[in-house]
Amino acid sequence: MEATSAQTTSVAEPPHVSGQSNKPLSRPAHGLSSDEVLRELQSDPARGLTGEDAARRLVELGKNELDRKEGVQPLAIFLEQIFNAMTLVLLLALGASFGIKAWIEGGILAGIIVLNIFIGFFQSLHAEKTIDSLRTLGSPTCSVYREGDTVKIQTAEVVPGDIVDLGTGDSVPADIRLLEAVNLEADEALLTGESAPIAKNPALVFDDDTGPGDRLNVVYSSTIITKGRGRGVVFATGMFTEIGLIASALHGGGRDEKAVVEESKTPLTYVRRCCRAIVKWLGEFLGLTHGTPLQRKLAQLFLWLFAFAIICAIVVLGANRFDTRQDVILYAVTTAIGTIPVSLLLVLTVTMAAGTKKMVERNVIMRNLQSLEALGGVTNICSDKTGTITQGQMAVRKAWLPGLGTYSIDTGNEVYNPTVGSVSLQEKQPRDIDGAEKAAETPQQSISPLDEPEVKPVLQWYLNVASLANLATLERVDETSEDSEKPGTTWKARGAPTEIAIEVFAARFGWNRVKLSEGSGAKWTHLAEFPFDSDVKKMSALFREAHSQETHIFTKGAVERVLDSCNRIAQGDTIDALTDAVKTDILANMEALASQGLRVLALAHKPVHEPVSSQPSDFTHHSTVASHNRESLEQDLIFRGLIGIYDPPRPESLPSVRACQGAGIVVHMLTGDHPQTARAIATEVSILPPADQMRLLPADVARSLMMTAHQFDALSDEQIDALPQLPLVVARCAPSTKVRMIEALHRRDRYVAMTGDGVNDSPSLKRADIGIAMGTGSDVAKESSDIILTDDNFASILNAVEEGRRIFDNIQKFILHVLAANIGFVVALLTGLAFKDASGVSVFLLTPVEILWMLMGTGAFCETGLGFEKAVPDILNRPPHDLKYGVFSPEFLLDMVAYGLLMACCTIGSFTVVIFGFDDGNLGANCNNAYSAACNDVFRARATCYTTMTWIFLLFAWELIDARRSLFYMPRGVRAWARHLWGNRFLFFSVTVVFFVVFGTLYIPVIDHVVFMHTGISWEWGVVFVAVVVFMLGAEAWKWAKRVYVRRRAARNRGSEGHWAGVA
C-alpha cells in the first residue's frame, strides 16, 4: 500500500496546490477568513472589480476554461469527407472507369470526388464554426458585481477577485470563497462522490491540508447550488480550480486502451471486443450510429441505394449478355451512379448550419441539431406564465388590510420608481368593490420614501412583512449629469420580479429593507431566512427588533399555504381568532383579486417567544439548524393581509397563441399561480375561450379545460386518459405535475415542447420531446434543454416552430429534387437498354459525364438554393408534420415517384422523337465510345435528351418552392411574382446561370464530342421546348390534383366544433 502511495507521489506534480488561487495566496483560500481573501485578491465585496481591472486580469490570468481540444478540428472534418459511404461509392465507380480505361469518365469522376471533398470540407468547416460560435451563446452565465452593478457575464470571463451571486439551480462558475450564505447547500458529487448536498458556512476557517469535501466555506466550479443563496469571491479559475486539477491528472495519466484489452487473457474476450470495435467503426463510418435522426435515415437510404445500384448494374450487364466490353461496363457504372444522390449530405450540412444561425437572429439558440429537425413536428407547447406569456415586470396593483381597506396603486410608466404614480384607499374589501365606484375612493398622492410618513400600526406591520420577508433591494442612484433636472431620478432594483414589486410598494410608504436592516441605524437585525420552494410555497425571514430585542418572523406566500399556518388575524388594531368563517371571507377576497388577473400573496407574522440564538450567523450560515426550526416557527401566525401583483401579458402573446392554434399546435399554460389569476391571463391571451364560448362547449370538455394541480394529480393515469381532452391550464402547478402532463400527452401520441427556468423544471425539460429553457433561467435548466430562448418570450417559441418548419420543408424540397431526378435517370437508363446498336449493345441515352454534370453541376447548386428558401405563406396554417414518417411522408414518396416518372417520360420521349420520329432510327455502332458520322443521329438525340433533362432539373427546383401552390400563382401581378423568384438570389442564379451554361457544353469543340459525347442541335430545340413544357404542365396538373384532394379532405374533416373542442 505504501509503495503504491510512493509511486503515486512520484508522478509529475500538478502545476498548483489544491485550494490555491491562480496567483498563490499566503494560504489556501479555505484557510483564510473571508476578509483576508478579499484583501489578498484586492476586491471590494460591495462593488466588485472595475471593468478595467477585470479585463486586465482576464488577459493576465487567462479565461475561465479547462484545457480541451478545439471545438472545430479541420483535419478531422477533412478526413470525414474522404472516409464516408458516399465517397466510397464514387471511388468504386472511379476504379471501374479506370479499370476499363475510360480515362475521360474516370478523370471527371476524380475531379468530382476532389471537388466534393474540398467543397464539403469548406462548407462543413464553416458549419462547424457557426455551430461552435452558437455554443458560446448558450454557455452558462453568472451574476457578478462590476463597479457596484450586477451584470450577467459568461463564465469563461470570470476572473479571480470577481464577486459572484449564487442562487438555487446555479452552476458554480469557478472556485469561490463564500462571503455570505443563507441556507446554502451544494451538490458536490461530481468532485467528492458524496450524494447528499453539502451545507456551507462562510464563517468557518480550516487547516491548509483540509480535503476538498470538508471545506465548508468554499464552493467549487461545476458543482450545483441545490438550496439557498449566497455570495462569494472567486479565487481560482480554469485549470487552477479543483475540477481543473482532475482534468490535469486525466490528461497526464489516462489509461491506455491497449492495457484494457490486455486485462483479459481470454482469446474469446479479445475477439468479442475486436468485433464490437469493428461494428462500432462501421456504424460511424457509414453514418448509421451517429448524427441526427435525419442524417441516420439518409445513411440508411444510401446503403439501400448502393444495393439498388449494384442490382441495376447487374441488370445492365444481363441485358447485354454479360458482355465485358468497355462500353457495356461503363453503361452499368453510369446506371449505378444515376441512383446515388451524391450532393445530398453536402447540402444538408449547409442547410443545417444556416438554419441554426437564422435561429439566433430570432432569439433562439439550438443546443442540438436533432431539435432543429423536430421543431416542425411539435403538436403541444406547455408554457410557464410568468415572464414567458407575461412581461415579467410586476407591479403591485392592490393591497388589502383587514379592518383598514384596500389600497389601489397606479405605478405610471416607471415601474421601479416609488415616487411616481398614485395611491388611493377605499375602506372596503376587494370583493365589495365595484370597478365603477371611483367616487368612493379617497385619493392619496404618492409618498416619497424620504418622507417616512406616520402610518397606522396595522399598516406598519403589513409593511414590515412586505419589506423584510423579501430579498429584493431598491436604491435611488444619484445623477449629476447636465441632463438631470435633479439628483436621484434613477431607481435600480435587484432581485426576483415578484419581490421587487412588493419592495417598491413598501418604499412608497418609506419602508426599505436595506435601510431597515443594515447599517448603524438599523431597526431590525436579520437572524435567519427560510427560502421559498415549490413544495412549501412560502418564504419567511427571522428578525430581531433593535429597540425591544424581540424576535419576529415575517412570512409571505401562496394564500392557502399561509392561511394554514395562521390562527389569528389582524383586523385594524385588534387581533382576533382566525375562524373558518373568516378564512372563507379571506378566500373570497383572494378570488376577487385573482379574477382581475392579479397574482395574490398572503402576508403574515408573529412575535417569537421561544429561545432563539443571539448570533445571526448561527442561523444565517447553518441551514440545518434553520431548517429544523422552520416548521415550528411558521405556525400560529397572525394574518396581516393580501397583496395583488399584476404581470401584464406581453403584447405579442395573444397573436402568438392564436398563430399556434392556427398551426395546429395546442398551447397549455402550467403555472404556480392561483386558479383565478391563471384563468384571467389564459383567457386574455386566448389559451382559454371567453366565458360566452365556454358555455357553448360540452360540460365535460369545459370542466377539463382548467384544473388545479391538486385536481390533476388526484386522477389516475386511466382517468386522465379518459378525459375528453387534457387541461389547457393547470394552476398551482408543481414540477411533478408538469411531468405527468408530458406523460399524458405522450400517451396520446403528441409531440411536446416544454418551457422551464428553474432547477425543479429540469425533469420535465428532459422528459419533453423538446425542452425549452429561458435565457435568464438556471444553468441546470439550460443543461437539460434542447433550446434556449434568449429573450424569454413566448413569441420566440413560435419563431422557433416556424423556422423549424421552414428548415424541414426545405430539407424535403432538396431531397425530393435529387431523388426524383435519380428515379428519372435510372428509369431512363434502364428503358434505354432496349435501344441497341448494330452490334447489339445498348446505347446511352445519357452518358456518365452528362449524369455527373447534372447531379453536381446542376443539382448541387439548386438544392443548396432550395435550402435557403423562405417559408411558404401557409407554413403556420397547417398541422405539424408527422414525425413517424419524418421527411419521407406519403405525400413525399408519391411526389418522388410522380415527378421522377414524368422526368423519365420526357427524357425518353425526347430521345425517341429525335431518333425514330424525325430520323430513320439508325443507332449507329460504337456510339458509346466515340463520335463518328454514323453516330451523328445518336449524338444529336443524346444532346436533346441531355438538354431536356437539364432544363427540367433546373425548372423543377422552382416548382418545388411550394409543394402544392402553382409556380405561376400571381395574385399580386407579374412583377411581384418575379420579385419572389428574385428573392432567393442563390437559387435564382443557380437556375439561370446553368441554364445558359448548357449552350457551352453543347457547342464548344472537344467538350461536346469527346467529354460529353453529344453534338450541337438545331431543329431539335423544338423537341426540347415541347418536352420541358410537357413536364411543367404535368407538374402543375399533379399539384392541382393534390390541392383538390386536400380541399375535399379538409371539407370532410371540418366539424362544427370550435378550436377548444378535442384539441388534445
Distance between CA atoms of 91 and 408, rounded to whole angstroms?
Answer: 79
The Cβ-side half-sphere exposure at 386, using a 13 Å CA radius, reads 22
Distance between CA atoms of 209 and 97, rounded to whole angstroms?
Answer: 72
Which residue is it, cell 396595522?
A: 458
| Amino acid code (one letter) for 551 | T
- Do 371 and 628 meet the contact criterion of CB atoms below 8 Å apart? no
DSSP annotation of 171 reads B
**Which residue spans within 75-202 are E strands per DSSP?**
141-146, 149-154, 163-167, 175-187, 198-199
Q: What's the gap between Cα 67 and its chain centre?
A: 27
What's the Cα-to-Cα distance from 1036 to each of 295, 769, 968, rounded to whole Å? Answer: 31, 37, 9
In angstroms, the first-to-last Cα distance of the chain is 64
DSSP string, 332-380: HHHHHHHT--TTHHHHHHHHHHHHHHHHHHTTEEES-HHHHHHGGG--E
- Do 909 and 833 meet the contact criterion of CB atoms below 8 Å apart? no
CA proximity to 225, closest of 256, 275, 183: 183
Distance between CA atoms of 364 and 366, rounded to whole angstroms?
Answer: 6
DSSP string, 446-479: ---TTT-----HHHHHHHHHHHHS---EEEEEP-
**Residue 673 known to be catalytic:** no
The phi and psi torsions of 10 (rounded to 5 degrees) equal: -80, -15
Rounded CA Rg of the chain: 36
* Burial class of 1021 by CB neighbour count within 10 A (0 to 12, 13 to 18, 19+): exposed
Q: Residue 740: left (phi > 0), alpha (psi -120 to 50), or beta?
A: alpha
The phi and psi torsions of 647 (rounded to 5 degrees) equal: -125, 95
The Cβ-side half-sphere exposure at 74, using a 13 Å CA radius, reads 3
CA proximity to 592, closest of 642, 639, 647: 642
DSSP annotation of 971 reads T
Collapsing DSSP to helix, strand or coil, 966 comes out as coil
Q: Provide the sign of the torsion angle of the four alpha carbons 341, 347, 349, 352, taken in this order.
A: negative
Which of the residues 162, 384, 837, 937 is marked catalytic?
A: 384
The phi and psi torsions of 116 (rounded to 5 degrees) equal: -60, -40
Dihedral (C-alpha) 572, 576, 579, 583: value to the nearest 10 degrees?
A: 30
Which residue is it, cell 450545483?
A: 224
- Residues serving a catalytic function are 384
